[in-house]
Amino acid sequence: AGREDPLLPDEERAAVDGMARRDSRMVEERRNYLAALAAAGERLLFVARADMRGQRARLASRWLLDTASALAGTRVAATTLEACTGTWFRSVPSFEAALLGDAQAASLQEHDLRDLARWRAGGRAVTSHALVGAEAALAAGFEAQRARRGRAFGRWNGYVPDAAVRSPYGGLPLSATALQGYASCPFSYFLGRLLRVAPYEVPADELTITPLTKGSLIHEVLEGFIREVAPRETPEQEWTPEERTRLQAIGAAACDAYETRGMTGRPLLWEAARGRLLADLDRFLDADQALRARFGVVPVAPEMAFGMEGEPEAHIEVGEGRVLNLRGKIDRLDRSPDGRKLVVLDYKTGSARWGYPELEGDPVHRGKLLQLPLYAAAALQREDSRTVTEVYSYYWFITEGGEFKTIGYPVGDPQRQRFEQVLSVIGDSIQDGIFPARPGTWRFGDFENCKFCDYKDLCPGDRDSAWERIRDDERLGPYVELAEPEDGA
């Protein structure tokens, strides 16, 4: 017996004229099925044995089992269908079994596949078949398959030799996000940054505002507010009630604009999210007063661009004759009134719990968190930073969910040296054509570098084994030492 609808049981549905019972759709489906069978001159029913993509068995539908039962003269269940032996039933164990059978090929592709399958079944190497010699693409496919199963690092698993890749040194400016992407997975960097394979975006009907959209909205509001209000004269200067009201007005206007553009999800959920967002903006001003007093600084440059929007690039020399050009945008730059202290702030609107470990042991987290030293270097290259003697760089979590925490450090020689060392490894590896796919560790149902990757479907299911087979290649040594150091740092 089926379960009742907890909201509208059949008894209550029956009391309303014209309202269908819960099982009415099933009755209609069965009627349509029987009508289709009756209308056909010849009837063939198929059921897939397995869902190959989902890697699970498929069961026959109840309507097909009813028909099978009528033909067999006894009750046939999904688990006993395979045991049927009548002339009305045929079981095909697999696609390959069908190819090797005597049925007529349905296409030229099936004809060629049958030739290859029979050739291999005869104990001969499939690569020695005439088809492979005649079809360059087919031959390349077998070569790729063989190479990817091996332990050699080559052109089929991430090596692009012979200066096929333009050197990153002295070239177009790179962003922190791009460099961090290479540190996580060079193959993803290769597809997105060098081949420029753009993901196909499908507009989603979001229930509420997405984290990405929320971050953009808050950044936009804070930039507009800091640019509009009078500069802070001292680090201890508090925000006035009028300024707090103005921030709420800017925030409300931005919320209205995003809602009009259909970027905030369903109205009921957006109403709650909007309230939290505006409350966070007010709390931000309290946190800002505490931060300015803590460091003795005042805001001087919101959304400071470099290498974009007409602003000069930043430059980092990582070795003799090797200079990386960099671009980006610093969310906020604060400076002490005497010009000696600089604080670089990178706003974060998510949680501080995930993805931001303690940075004392490694200030760049194996190349995956480069923004702090990169932005500090860019800020120091400004004309008005010549008097600076102290630089601090922080991720600042500016919502209640992030607890208004700061994660970062004073940027001194040890941090700069580590930063330049990591940039050297990344730059040299790109120049040398090193682009293997590295999935990372398995956690929460996926590989850490694949969970949000636009290109994950291009990689094999055994991507972790594929990486392990090649990771000991000496050409990968510097990258492996960066991404997967033996000490686990």
Contact status, residue 355 vs residue 371, Cβ threshold 8 Å: no
Mean pLDDT along residues 443-448: 91
> For residue 342, with 0-12 CB atoms within 10 Å meaning exposed, 13-18 middle and 19 or more buried, which class applies?
buried
Q: How far is it, in rounded angstroms, from Cα 375 to Cα 194?
A: 23
Q: Is the pLDDT of residue 131 over 70?
A: yes
Q: What is the mean pLDDT of the chain?
A: 92
User: Is residue 3 predicted with pLDDT exceeding 80?
Assistant: no
Residue 198: left if φ>0, alpha if ψ -120 to 50, beta else—which one?
A: beta
pTM for the whole structure? 0.80
Other residues' Cβ atoms within 10 Å of the Cβ of residue 6: 6
How far apart CA 301 and CA 476 sit, in angstroms, is 41
Q: How many CB atoms lie within 10 A of CB 276?
A: 13
Own/partner long-range contacts of 18-25 (Cβ < 8 Å, ≥24 apart): none
State residue 395 phi and psi, 5-degree precision: -80, 130
- Nearest Cα neighbor of 366 from 487, 472, 478, 484 is 484
Neighbours of 376 (CB within 10 A): 26
18 pLDDT band, cuts 50/70/90, is low
Q: Is a pLDDT exceeding 80 seen at residue 487?
A: no
Q: Which amino acid is at 128?
A: S
Q: Would you state the structure tokens that stand for residue 277, as one six-digit string?
A: 């967002």
Q: Are 334 and 376 in contact (CB under 8 A)?
A: no
Q: How far apart are CA 174 and CA 314, in angstroms?
A: 10
Of the ranges 43-57, 97-111, 285-299, 440-454, the best mean pLDDT one: 285-299
Domain boundaries, the chain: 10-83, 100-149
Task: Specify whether the CB–CB gap between 181 and 188 falls below 8 A.
Answer: yes
The residue with greater pLDDT, 452 or 356, is 452
Q: Per mean pLDDT, which range of 6-10, 290-294, 370-374 is the poorest?
A: 6-10
Q: What is the pLDDT of residue 103?
A: 80
| 126-130, 158-162, 398-402, range with the lowest pLDDT | 158-162
Q: Residue 1: what pLDDT?
A: 46
What secondary structure does DSSP assign to 412-431, as a single string? -HHHHHHHHHHHHHHHHHHH
Both tokens of residue 50? 């397995």
**Tokens 């040398």 sit on residue:** 432
153, 159 contact by CB (below 8 A): yes
Pairing relation of β-strands 314-319 and 322-335? antiparallel
- The pLDDT > 90 percentage for the chain reads 71
The residue that leads in pLDDT, 9 or 232, is 232
CB 50 within 8 A of CB 56: yes
DSSP alpha helix (H) spans, 296-412: 371-380
Rounded mean pLDDT of 40-68?
Answer: 84
Angle between helices 24-39 and 62-72 (to 10 degrees): 50
Q: What contacts 150, CB < 8 A, 6 or more positions away?
A: 469
How many helices (H) and strands (E) are present in the chain, helices listed first? 16, 11
For the stretch 373-421, pLDDT in tens is 999 999 999 999 999 999 999 999 999 999 999 999 999 999 999 999 9
- Measured from the Cβ of residue 173, the count of other Cβ atoms closer than 10 Å reads 18
Residue 210: both structure tokens together:
């997405």
Q: What is the largest CA-CA distance in the chain?
A: 96
Asked if residue 164 has pLDDT above 80, the reply is no
Q: Does the pLDDT value for residue 27 go beyond 70?
A: yes
Distance of alpha carbon 165 from alpha carbon 244, whole angstroms: 51
Quote the pLDDT of residue 345. Answer: 98
Rounded mean pLDDT of 115-133? 92
How far apart (Å, rounded) are the C-alpha atoms in residues 12 and 265? Answer: 33
Question: In this predicted structure, which of 40-54, 140-154, 175-189, 451-465 has the lowest mean pLDDT?
Answer: 40-54
**Any idea which of 88-92, 132-136, 413-417 has the lowest mean pLDDT?**
88-92
Angle between helices 267-295 and 211-228 (to 10 degrees): 50
For residue 202, is pLDDT > 80? no
**Residue range 9-31: average pLDDT?**
76
Angle at 313 between CA 308 and CA 314, to 5 degrees: 130
Per-residue confidence (pLDDT) for residue 489, from 0 to 100 = 58
Q: What radius of gyration, in Å, describes the C-alpha atoms of the chain?
A: 31
| CA dist., res. 153 & res. 159, Å (int) | 7
